[in-house]
């Protein structure tokens, strides 16, 4: 009997989870969140043979990958993606309904905040904060779990990609001022830049002078800011500032679990201008792989291999370019927002004489009704008229009244994305679902790309984990962007963000 009991105890030891030596054995030293702006899932494999062993390939070979991670809302754009990654919820709940959205009836920028001032330059680039975010993030919950002893920082080229992931209680968020060519923050976080940011800004000031113009196809990009953001240097300075933050703030080296949220924005800038298959896009990922390898080497030497957990994802993917598709006989067309808005207003003015601006804008494939011009009209009928108008457009697959999504004749998969993306106080009035291969363009169709729709090219993103508590393996089943935050929170034993609707995913 004693032998059987002993055997059972020994067996139990093998199924109990094992933890590192930090923080009561329940958490790693550092959580490293990595978002690559506009990274399609297939970029993990398209360039795999050219990657080093230390970057993307290391994450795949040593870590755990969820092969079918999907964005479960529309619009699939930067601010929404970064927010959903770190909150585990959707625009309907977290309130970041787009890069720009309605706020108290007026258009507002997602991170804009006129009550704060720039720290680090004389421009207005720092008039930003997370105040428009309505829920907590992983970082907020980490700080709460440790009685605010943890440190949380956000670093990115884009302001929204540094601010929204880091959350409300972050110790700092830093982004690049394209006018003054330096990293800045706002008085929401601090009154002066840390010395490690000031020191690195001096390095940038010297190095920017040595950057060469970007010549790609017919484009010659010679402005100093363009030399940064269209070249691998834009990602490099984000990586180097992240290393400076780890060193300067002793992240993961203080006996508490800390977190750093890093977003690489330049692949999005390049993708929009040149497309998914341009050589400059290819070079971006080959160089980013080397930069990630250097970051992981730094973390290994500073914290110890296996003492931190890193996760990689993206805010959205990208469609293959219209001209590229057409060249290969794939149906594809442009939806011209600058033409559609006046056209629908002209149509409505015939039915509603004296009302010449009933539609104020089309944003993120949503039609926004102008409340001033529509005052006194039957809003239900007006929305129906707009829906009926767009149903006649050969490029539009569905037009949905956002006040009556349930009755729309759309597939349930798309309907759920519409529900999740609709924030009653901040979104528009009519959701347009374009045909596959049709995307919004402005003025003319170029060689670049865009994103924002429900389709797999925009919504299939990477989700890879590596390091502390992460086994090697992969999962082929569908998971969602909203599952990332609860999976991380579950792994490091903290509560999920307060608006989270995602599911913690097991790594088997």
- C-alpha 253/C-alpha 315 separation (Å) is 29
- C-alpha 334/C-alpha 336 separation (Å) is 6
> Helices (DSSP H) in 352-411: which residue ranges?
379-391
213 burial type by CB count under 10 A (0-12 exposed, 13-18 middle, 19+ buried): middle
The β-bridge partners of 154 are 173, 261
Do 224 and 177 meet the contact criterion of CB atoms below 8 Å apart? no
E strands, 364-462, are: 366-369, 396-401, 430-434, 438-441, 460-461
- C-alpha 367/C-alpha 377 separation (Å) is 17
- Among candidate residues 463, 208, 422, the one with its CA nearest the CA of residue 315: 463
Query: Known catalytic residue: 78?
Result: yes
Q: Residue 335 has what DSSP assignment? A: E
Q: Residue 128 has what DSSP assignment? A: B
Which tokens belong to 213? 């113009």
3-state secondary structure of 118: strand
- C-alpha 336/C-alpha 339 separation (Å) is 5
Catalytic, out of 18, 52, 78, 281: 78
Active site residues: 78
């Amino acid at each position: 009997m004693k032998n059987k009991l002993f055997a059972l105890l020994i067996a139990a030891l093998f199924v109990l989870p094992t933890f590192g030596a930090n923080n009561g054995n329940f958490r790693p030293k550092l959580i490293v969140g990595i978002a690559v702006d506009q990274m399609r899932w297939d970029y993990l494999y398209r360039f795999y043979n050219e990657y080093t062993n230390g970057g993307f390939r290391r994450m795949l070979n040593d870590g755990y990958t969820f092969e079918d991670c999907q964005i479960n809302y529309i619009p699939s754009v930067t601010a929404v993606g970064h927010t959903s990654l770190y909150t585990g919820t959707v625009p309907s709940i977290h309130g970041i309904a787009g890069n720009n959205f309605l706020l108290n009836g007026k258009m507002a920028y997602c991170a804009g905040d006129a009550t704060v001032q720039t720290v680090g330059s004389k421009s207005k680039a720092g008039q930003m904060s997370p105040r428009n975010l309505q829920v907590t993030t992983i970082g907020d919950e980490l700080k709460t779990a440790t009685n605010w002893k943890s440190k949380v920082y956000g670093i990115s080229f884009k302001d929204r990609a540094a601010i929204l992931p880091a959350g409300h209680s972050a110790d700092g968020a830093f982004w690049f001022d394209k006018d003054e060519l330096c990293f800045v923050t706002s008085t929401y976080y601090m009154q002066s830049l840390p010395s490690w940011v000031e020191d690195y800004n001096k390095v940038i000031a010297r190095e920017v002078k040595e950057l060469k113009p970007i010549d790609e196809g017919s484009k010659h990009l010679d402005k100093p800011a363009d030399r940064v953001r269209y070249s691998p240097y834009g990602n490099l300075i984000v990586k180097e500032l992240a290393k400076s933050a780890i060193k300067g703030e002793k992240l993961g080296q203080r006996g508490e679990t800390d977190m750093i949220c890093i977003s690489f924005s330049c692949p999005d800038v390049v993708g929009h201008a040149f497309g998914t298959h341009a050589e400059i896009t290819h070079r971006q990922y080959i160089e980013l792989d080397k930069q990630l390898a250097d970051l992981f080497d730094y973390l290994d030497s500073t914290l110890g291999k296996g003492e931190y957990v890193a996760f990689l994802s993206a805010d959205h993917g990208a469609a293959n370019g219209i001209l590229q598709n057409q060249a290969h006989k794939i149906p594809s067309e442009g939806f011209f927002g600058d033409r559609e808005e006046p056209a629908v207003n002209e149509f409505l003015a015939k039915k509603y004489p004296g009302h010449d601006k009933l539609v104020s804008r089309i944003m993120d494939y949503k039609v926004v009704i102008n409340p001033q011009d529509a005052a006194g009209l039957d809003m239900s009928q007006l929305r129906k008229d707009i829906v009926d108008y767009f149903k006649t457009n050969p490029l539009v697959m569905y037009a949905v009244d956002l006040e009556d999504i349930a009755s729309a004749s759309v597939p349930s998969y798309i309907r759920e994305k519409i529900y999740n993306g609709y924030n009653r106080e901040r979104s528009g009035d009519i959701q347009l679902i374009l045909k596959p291969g049709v995307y919004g363009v402005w003025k003319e169709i170029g060689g670049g790309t865009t994103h924002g729709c429900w389709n797999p090219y925009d919504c299939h993103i990477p989700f890879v984990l590596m390091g502390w508590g992460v086994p090697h393996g992969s999962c082929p089943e569908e998971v969602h962007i909203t599952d990332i935050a609860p999976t991380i929170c579950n792994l490091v034993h903290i509560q999920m963000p307060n608006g989270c609707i995602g599911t913690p995913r097991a790594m088997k």
